[in-house]
Structure 1
Amino acid sequence: MKIQAHLRSREPGRSRRNGVMAPEVAQAIRAGIFQGEYRPGDPLPEMHLAAKFGVSQAVVREALSGLAHTGLVRRFPNKGTYVTSLTPAEIGELVRVRLLLETAAWIDAAANATSKDLQCLTERLGAMEAAVAAGDYDGVARADLEFHREIWRISGDSTIARILDQVTAPLFAFVSVRRHQRRDDLSTIIAEHREIVRLLGKGDRREIERLARAQIERSYGAFVPPNLPVLSFRAGGAGRA
């Protein structure tokens, strides 16, 4: 791996002090995940990675912390760090929670959004568009997550934002790895997110609920067996789809 050789060629003391190396180590691990070197569920022991990249465990710990923020890895107290792995049933559970809370966040964001907020979302969309053009599945997932984090911020509900972050980050990351493996077409994602911005500006609650459900069905339908009741109730009330 080219980045590994690059890491070993750096001046260790200076790099570790100023934190330059942690993002590079994170990028190397991220690349390893998408290239299949580290598979879903694999452990990522700090000591092993520190020896592999020729850096301190503190640098590896910082890199893994950043990857956990994006959802690519999950950290468990007293157990270690693992590449994110989700069963179809777990995906179904996360999607059900996300549908309810995401819809509520979109409705609140529509009520609160200023023209500056909508412009910020459009800029986030630009980052996603660049990643799609580059065929960067990981970049798309990260830009997509930041786009939705911005909506959660605009909603003004910090509790919903915190729960959605916990639910959505690993979901986005795991599905992005699967999409990369399948070479899924990413071309429709930009139009879908432009429609989100348009409806938030319009403030039509019924249309927002419809779009949230339709987008989540399209995003995760391929990853959940049809017999699982992933979308068996609508946001705002119970009822079969």
Structure 2
Amino acid sequence: MAINVIEQSLAAAPLRKGSVRSQVLGLLREAILSGKLKPGDQIREAHLARALQVSQATVREALLQLEHAGLVVRTPNRSTVVTRLTREEVQERVQLRVLLEGVAAVAAAQRMREEDFAALADRLADIHRALERDVYLDYVSADLNFHRLIWEMSGNKTLCRVLELIAVPMFAYLTILRSRRFTNLAAKVHSHDPILQAMRSRNPEAIREAFTQHLEGSYRHFDEVAASAGTAPNATGAY
């Protein structure tokens, strides 16, 4: 669907009284998650502001929040596009996550008390509940929350920020590409269980191995979701 058509459809949704920025944010998020705006589509700030009859500053603030959520990215020429990752980019991010999440998890395990492990178990239960409900968006959200808690428990704020930059766009892109046709979600969900078990053991080698196995499975999961959404890699390896 052409971008100008998207802008027209967004403009057709009247803005109510209240926070204009939050409404613009909601309209854009819905357009991305519903597929009206597709991976790689450019969002033209000035055009959208005119279509919605709001200031460019309002649109810019909404886009900044979407960028923090990993749903859009700023390109070198300062345009904004819906997040789109190539196979190579995903491989690079997975490799970094294997190294850095292993470091974070080993550090977290040494710091965590029983109530912290209970909180992580609750996050894991949220992932399993999403599987039972068969709601893919809930699964991705619960998955990210599980990993975020581990990062935070490491006590390393710099490491948390780096992992946010590396991992959040992956979770966001999976959300954009979500597909109810994905049939192996149970295996992906259950790959989180060994992480909690390894962290409870506080054994660094076991923790690193659990993350390696889990994240390698994440890359296969990404490929399957991308294929089922009709964005499988072409001959050049790009989506």
Tell me the residue number matched to 1:30: 29
Query: How far 1:77 sits from its partner (Å)?
Result: 6.7
Q: What is the 5 A alignment of 1:11-160?
A: 11=17, 14-16=18-20, 22=22, 24-53=23-52, 55-76=54-75, 79-160=78-159
Identity, % of aligned positions: 36
Question: Within 2, Cα distance between the matches of 1:140 and 1:87?
Answer: 22
Per the alignment, do residues 124 and 56 of structure 1 end up closer, same or farther by CA in structure 2, a change over 3 Å counting? farther
**1:59-97 Cα distance to aligned partner (Å, 9 max, x none):** 433332222222121134761321111111111111111
Tell me the residue number matched to 2:201: 202
| Stretch of structure 1 that moved more, 62-71 or 49-58 | 49-58
Question: Within 2, Cα distance between the matches of 1:220 and 1:113?
Answer: 28
Question: Within 2, Cα distance between the matches of 1:38 and 1:82?
Answer: 9
Question: Within 2, Cα distance between the matches of 1:56 and 1:123?
Answer: 42
- The answer as to whether partners of 1:72 and 1:174 remain within 8 angstroms in 2 is yes
Question: Within 2, Cα distance between the matches of 1:82 and 1:166?
Answer: 17
Question: Within 1, Cα distance between the matches of 2:75 and 2:175?
Answer: 22
Read off the aligned partner of 1:163 and give its amino acid letter.
V
Question: Within 2, Cα distance between the matches of 1:56 and 1:124?
Answer: 39
Query: How far 1:152 sits from its partner (Å)?
Result: 0.8
Tell me the residue number matched to 1:162: 161
Tell me the residue number matched to 2:230: none
Question: Within 2, Cα distance between the matches of 1:127 and 1:51?
Answer: 41
Read off the aligned partner of 1:150 and give its amino acid letter.
L
Per the alignment, do residues 125 and 60 of structure 1 end up closer, same or farther by CA in structure 2, a change over 3 Å counting? farther
| Stretch of structure 1 that moved more, 39-48 or 136-145 | 136-145
Read off the aligned partner of 2:139 and give its amino acid letter.
V
**1:127-152 Cα distance to aligned partner (Å, 9 max, x none):** 43454444443332233222212111
Question: Within 1, Cα distance between the matches of 2:207 and 2:78?
Answer: 41
SS in structure 1 opposite 2:177?
Answer: helix
Per the alignment, do residues 163 and 73 of structure 1 end up closer, same or farther by CA in structure 2, a change over 3 Å counting? same
Tell me the residue number matched to 1:8: 14
Tell me the residue number matched to 2:191: 192
